[in-house]
Amino acid sequence: MTSATPQRQFRAVAAFQLIAAIAGGFSILVGVLVLIGWWRDIDALQTILPGLIAMIPNTAVACIAGGVSLVLATRAERSARLQLSSRWFAGVMTTLGVLFFFERVTGISLGIDLLLFGDAVRPTPWLPPGRPAINSTIVMIADGLALLLVNFRTRRGWRPAEALSTVGALIAFTAIVGYLYRVQGSYSFGVDETGMALLTGVTLCVLSVGILFVRPDQGVVSLITAADPSGTMVRRLIPASFIVPIGLGGLWLLARDLDLVSHEMGVSAFVGAVIVTFLLLVMRAAAVVRKTDAERDELLGRAEGARAVAERAADKTERLRRTAEALSTALTPMAVARAIVAEGLPALGASASEVAVLSADGVVLELTAVSGLPSEVADAWRRFPVTSRVPLADAIRTTDSVLLTSPADIARRYPDLAPVLDRVNVRAMIVMPMLVDGRPMGSLAFSFNGPRVFDDSDLTFTRALGQQCAQALERARLFAAEQSARADAEAANRAKTEFLAMMSHELRTPLNAIAGYTELLELGISGPVSDMQREQLGRIRRSQRHLLGIIEDLLDLSRLEHGAPADIEMGAVPVHDTLGNLEALIAPQLRARNLTYIYNPSDGDLIAYGNRARVEQIVLNLLSNAIKYTAPGGRVGLSSGVHAGRVEIRVSDTGHGIPREKLDSIFEPFTRLEMDLTRTTEGTGLGLAISRHLARAMVGDLTVRSEVARGSIFTLTLPAEAPEPVDRGLGVTPPASMIAVPEDSIPLHRVRM
């Protein structure tokens, strides 16, 4: 059995199902009208169409039962109740058919023939009165069973309902044809007394066909409803297969009645006409198949074309992605241009490509990448003014694309250039400006060996490529600018360091001379020194020390700012050991300012990772600040501990504190707060800047918490163990030979007030 897949069904399957519903309705209508006709004794209703033979009431009842069952069956898919009702009516029809068939075959009356309108039926000429013809009973049984089995399928997919209703349709149709050709045997089934009425034949035929269409998407009927060429062909041929034989048969009978043809001649003419007509039908079917085939080929061709276009588009998208990827790492205009050429050429199927970059002053175009052109041509056009009458320059001046589709087009628009392009086999070109925010950065061109019409996708692709290229060029330009600015800054820094080194050397020599001579004078070697002179000599020495301290600080800072504290050797720093020694160094200042010092020693084994001398330098600086910026009678504290896996050294005071908004800036060099104590206290504003640089150079940090009028806590954080050897540009792993500050050399100048 052929069964079309649901997708290929004629879309209006519901419309075919309507045939079934209409057929059912028709059957009911005829049955009801006929019954009314018998009841009211109206001849016209018994025959429906004047001149036809009447349908007897029993047949009308069977037709109504069949019609109701059919109408319900079209809806039954959605409801089990409707399905049951449909089966019930089908059962009635089948039972009636079987009973009448039994009567006909056995001749035994079951007393049911005249149950309905018996008086009206009794006088009719058909015998026995009120009993349906045998062919009618067979159709009733066939259709009744078909309706009962309408949803049943065998395991191999057969639908018995189809076979049964086809049998019903054929018997009923044969009766109709019998009436048409006046062949009694066809409608009386060879029995003389009575036959199927024409109205019964029409009604049962319609009912049988209707049953075929209850499930239009299943079984053989699906061949008629199919949306593919087979369906089209079947739908076109079916009417012909009825009309042609019936029509020809009719003609033959007419000719015979008029004595126009002999019997033999009629038969041969009939055979000939049938052959010719069927040949024509076969030809027509072939033409239909050929046409649908051609349509399918065309559709296939179109689908193929669409797929090729989609594939090309996907290829271009992929190339744009790859270009973007390649461009993200291209840092020079040359690398940018090469990436563009490499991806653009194959995507467009071009034979040559050029990228021209506009000079910074916007006057000259420089060919940055060329592919597919002879080197002498590329060399001749290495640099050319933006005012030149060539496509690459035109695209920049007009900030629009230039499309040259054929040699004739080139010759018309660029007559001077045409011979050169002809010589290098360029027959078409697409040229795009490369713009960043509407500003031209250059242009790119793709050339082709043959004439070419550029479609939207070519334009979009080339434009996207141009945009990517422009942005990459802009990035490369910014990168180059940044590189040169960085080089300038580095050079300036080097000069500053050199200057500071030279200055410190130049200043230190006379300062040391001042210290030496002051000492000599103090010793009285050059003669006795009065008390007043001694006091003045003391001031000279303090000033000399202060100056020396400032110079040391400046040098330190300058070295640290360059991120090259190469003299810091990292190692284990025993915290308690280191901090415990500091009290002796600050004791005089503490006494002088009447401050209480509280040292809160950590666990004796606490080890930090850093440089001991630098740690001492930082803590000493913090302690001297705490002393400087705390009013007499206050407290200065030093403590240590471990927090979050890192060693913390805290210096606290009960001094005047630091306003919240200044907490960051005090770490900037030369920053001193405008406060009474600051004004009266010596200082350069370099100590904290140097300390934080040092702390960070040791992979630690220096932070502060403070509250105005209550005091401050400075916290130096250091690693508790050696960090992973990551090069952070801090140079924390210098060779031992580079250590400039011996472990035990505490820079005394920092303990100054």
Binding site for ligand ADP (CB under 6 A): 625-626, 629, 653, 655-658, 666, 671-673, 675, 678, 683-689, 712
| Closer to ligand ADP by Cβ: residue 69 or 624 | 624
Cβ atoms of 392 and 429 closer than 8 Å = no
DSSP state of 699: T
Give me the least distance between CB of 520 and ligand ADP, in Å please. 31
Candidates 390, 327, 405, 313; CA nearest to 354 is 390
| Closer to ligand ADP by Cβ: residue 602 or 678 | 678
Cβ atoms of 647 and 718 closer than 8 Å = yes
| Closer to ligand ADP by Cβ: residue 452 or 656 | 656
| Closer to ligand ADP by Cβ: residue 173 or 629 | 629
Give me the least distance between CB of 465 and ligand ADP, in Å please. 56
* Residue whose token pair is 């200055």: 503
Name, in order, each residue with C-beta under 8 angstroms of 531's C-beta and a sequence gap of 6 or more: none
Sheet architecture: strand order including 596-600: 596-600, 635-643, 646-653, 711-719, 701-707
Give me the least distance between CB of 670 and ligand ADP, in Å please. 8
> Residue 720 has which token pair?
């508790």
| Closer to ligand ADP by Cβ: residue 410 or 627 | 627
> Residue 552 has which token pair?
């040391």
Cβ atoms of 84 and 99 closer than 8 Å = no
| Closer to ligand ADP by Cβ: residue 89 or 629 | 629
Cβ atoms of 376 and 423 closer than 8 Å = no
| Closer to ligand ADP by Cβ: residue 129 or 659 | 659
Give me the least distance between CB of 509 and ligand ADP, in Å please. 25
Give me the least distance between CB of 369 and ligand ADP, in Å please. 55
Buried/exposed 609-627: b ≥16 CB within 10 Å, e otherwise:
bbbbbbbbbbbbbbbbbbb
| Rounded Cα gap, residues 221 and 215, in angstroms | 8
| Rounded Cα gap, residues 540 and 523, in angstroms | 15
Concatenate the DSSP letters of all residues of 619-659 into one string.
HHHHHHHHHHTS-TT-EEEEEEEEETTEEEEEEEE-SS---
Give me the least distance between CB of 657 and ligand ADP, in Å please. 6
Give me the least distance between CB of 693 and ligand ADP, in Å please. 11
| Closer to ligand ADP by Cβ: residue 403 or 626 | 626
Pairing label, strands 596-600, 635-643: parallel
| Closer to ligand ADP by Cβ: residue 179 or 629 | 629
Name, in order, each residue with C-beta under 8 angstroms of 409's C-beta and a sequence gap of 6 or more: 428
Give me the least distance between CB of 597 and ligand ADP, in Å please. 14
| Closer to ligand ADP by Cβ: residue 121 or 689 | 689
| Rounded Cα gap, residues 72 and 148, in angstroms | 12
Give me the least distance between CB of 686 and ligand ADP, in Å please. 6
> Which 3 state secondary structure label does DSSP give 435?
strand
Name the residue with the smallest CB distance to ligand ADP: 683
* Residue whose token pair is 């979050």: 644
Other C-beta atoms within 10 Å of 177: how many? 17
Give me the least distance between CB of 713 and ligand ADP, in Å please. 9
| Closer to ligand ADP by Cβ: residue 533 or 684 | 684
Give me the least distance between CB of 696 and ligand ADP, in Å please. 15
Cβ atoms of 86 and 72 closer than 8 Å = yes
| Rounded Cα gap, residues 220 and 230, in angstroms | 12
Q: Nearest 5°: CA angle at 626, between 623 and 631?
A: 140
Amino acid at 113: D
Give me the least distance between CB of 355 and ligand ADP, in Å please. 54
| Closer to ligand ADP by Cβ: residue 388 or 671 | 671
CA torsion sign for 157, 160, 161, 165 is positive
> Which 3 state secondary structure label does DSSP give 669?
coil
